[in-house]
Structure 1
Amino acid sequence: MVKTQATPVPNAVRFVEIDADSAGQRLDNYLLRELKGVPKTRIYRGLRKGEFRINKGRVKAEYRLVAGDVLRVPPLHQPEPGAPVVVPGYWAGEIQSRIVFEDAGLLVINKPSGLAVHGGSGLNFGLIECLRQLRPQDRYLELVHRLDRDTSGLILVARKPAVLRELHRQLRGDGVDKRYVALVAGRWPRERRMVEAPLQKNVVQSGERMVRVAKEGKASVTGFQVLEQFHRATLVEARPYTGRTHQIRVHARFAGHPILGDDKYMDDACAELARSLGVGRLFLHARSLTFTLPGAGQLRLEAPLDKDLETILENARK
């Protein structure tokens, strides 16, 4: 547990003693988790300016905390617990323009990269909080499934409990066909159409969530198909037959072809290739969904690549 005041006092410097449970974490990750409601940009600005200090000294964002460290926290404004989330106007407008499908029971959004699907883990809001603020008349809005924060593309949001239950039933079986597009490092062999490797969640010392291939993990299967080959990269379609955390990303790395822009799982050589192609984000996009919607029959929905991803492909072709 963190030794600090239960209710932070605005406009007052606080000193927090780091306990053993928090030791080993990066300072920035710790602050993002503990200072809920404080904008990420404000935290990193404070780190650059030396407003956050350890044992009275300036430290960098990547500093690893040690039990017994005394952390200086500058005066910060944090919303009261239970206060309504205020979503920035930029995200509200962006989401409104990305509604792909809507009926009485379902919303389908082409989620932008950089927006989490829900708040938590240091994030004050996500897609679902944005939607609830945008659509106060909707008494029921629940995520049907999830996408990683940096993954763009189609995501389902139920407007009725019965629709949520039915789509969950389809997701547990093979009733939902999901197809992703990814740009991976190297030349993916056309004959490699399937990656089957068990996956296990593994929380590393810093608190960052990672996934690895392990015998004791859960069975995981991803289909891959080559769409276009470039000199040092390949555009592939990925179809996850199981729904594990980071499944496509880890299976691509396991096959020897990490997804470009994947800060968690690519190596230095892939990072250099990504920079040379202008990849500034995870190149993974949920392009299509096929499922059966009660009252509407079978639907197949598609979301085209964002302009920044199309520009990267143009760079690769050159």
Structure 2
Amino acid sequence: MTIPILYEDAEALVIDKPAGLPIEKPRAGGPSLSDHWEELKLGFHRLPAPSHRIDTDTSGCLLLARNPRALRRFASAFAERQVSKRYLGILSEIPGTREGTIELGLTKISSEKGGWRMIAARRGKPSVTHWRLIAEIGHHALVEFRPETGRTHQIRVHAASGIGIPLLGDPIYGKAGSAPRTMLHSAGIEMPRYGKDPIIARAPLPADFVDQGFTDE
């Protein structure tokens, strides 16, 4: 597997992470993005390191730092909400409104039977996502999400509990088997940098989104 490079300079890489590929090696074994760190050095001495996380099922833009100093700066930029992120998701139904802002407290729960998941909770960590409807095909809708915060499973929970419609294929917050994976794609990322050009990257719409009839125009 070749990992597409969307952006490259001396301190940053943005890759187009394939859907289904976890960032870290799973406990049960199997392929992961960490198998590709060596090839992603691209002539540098140090291995790149992810500056943020996206779910295993999620495809698209992932920012990697090429040295420890850049990793610290990028982490600060995410923490201070300086990074603009754009996601595209396919909802399993058509929403009743065309746009909105979701603000929920999120917390993690777990059980022996169901494993762990995130839920909306009054005392949870604050999370904010802006969304708008882009297109409708049949019973499904393509939605743009612009999260201000970066909580675990944020967009997935915001779709299911905020909009009231889960992402197509989401096995935790929606209906497993309705699509080959949770239909969420990290379509773009932008990060300003002091004294340097901003990092700007766009990931093309993956084939499984196109197979549903959607385009990103």
What residue is the counterpart of 1:111 in the other structure?
Answer: 17
CA-atom RMSD, angstroms? Answer: 2.1
What residue is the counterpart of 1:305 in the other structure?
Answer: 205
Residues 1:142 and 2:42 aligned together: no
The alpha carbon displacement at 1:111 in A equals: 0.1
The alpha carbon displacement at 1:129 in A equals: 3.4
What residue is the counterpart of 1:121 in the other structure?
Answer: 27
**Structure 2: how far apart are the matches of 1:112 and 1:263?**
18
The alpha carbon displacement at 1:295 in A equals: 5.5
**Structure 2: how far apart are the matches of 1:185 and 1:308?**
15
Say which of 258, 279, 292 aligns to 2:192.
292
What residue is the counterpart of 1:265 in the other structure?
Answer: 173
**Structure 1: how far apart are the matches of 2:115 and 2:38?**
28
- SS of 2:77 mapped into structure 1: helix
Say which of 144, 148, 151 aligns to 1:241.
148
Q: Deviations over 1:16-53 (max 9, x none)?
A: xxxxxxxxxxxxxxxxxxxxxxxxxxxxxxxxxxxxxx
Distance 1:157 1:177, change over 3 A: same
Q: Deviations over 1:149-205 (max 9, x none)?
A: 000000011101121111111101121000100000222233541111111111221
Distance 1:134 1:312, change over 3 A: same
Kept in 2, the 8 Å contact 1:289–1:300? The answer is yes
Alignment of 1:90-239 (within 5 A): 93-95=1-3, 98-132=4-38, 135=41, 137-206=44-113, 208-239=115-146
Runs of 4+ in 1 over 4 A off after TM superposition: none
The alpha carbon displacement at 1:206 in A equals: 3.8
- SS of 2:129 mapped into structure 1: strand
The alpha carbon displacement at 1:251 in A equals: 0.9
| TM-score, with structure 1 as normaliser | 0.62
**Structure 2: how far apart are the matches of 1:297 and 1:153?**
22
* Count of paired positions: 212
The alpha carbon displacement at 1:133 in A equals: 5.4
Relative contact order higher in (CA < 8 Å, ≥ 6 apart): 2
**Structure 1: how far apart are the matches of 2:34 and 2:208?**
24
Say which of 265, 268, 280 aligns to 2:180.
280
**What are structure 2's unaligned runs of at least 5 residues?**
none
Alignment of 1:20-31 (within 5 A): none
Percentage identity across aligned positions?
Answer: 34
Distance 1:111 1:144, change over 3 A: same
Q: Match for 2:34: what amino acid?
A: I
**Structure 1: how far apart are the matches of 2:199 and 2:108?**
33
Higher helix share: 1
Greater Cα radius of gyration, structure 1 or 2: 1
Higher strand share: 2
**Structure 1: how far apart are the matches of 2:29 and 2:111?**
20
- SS of 1:219 mapped into structure 2: strand
| TM-score, with structure 2 as normaliser | 0.89
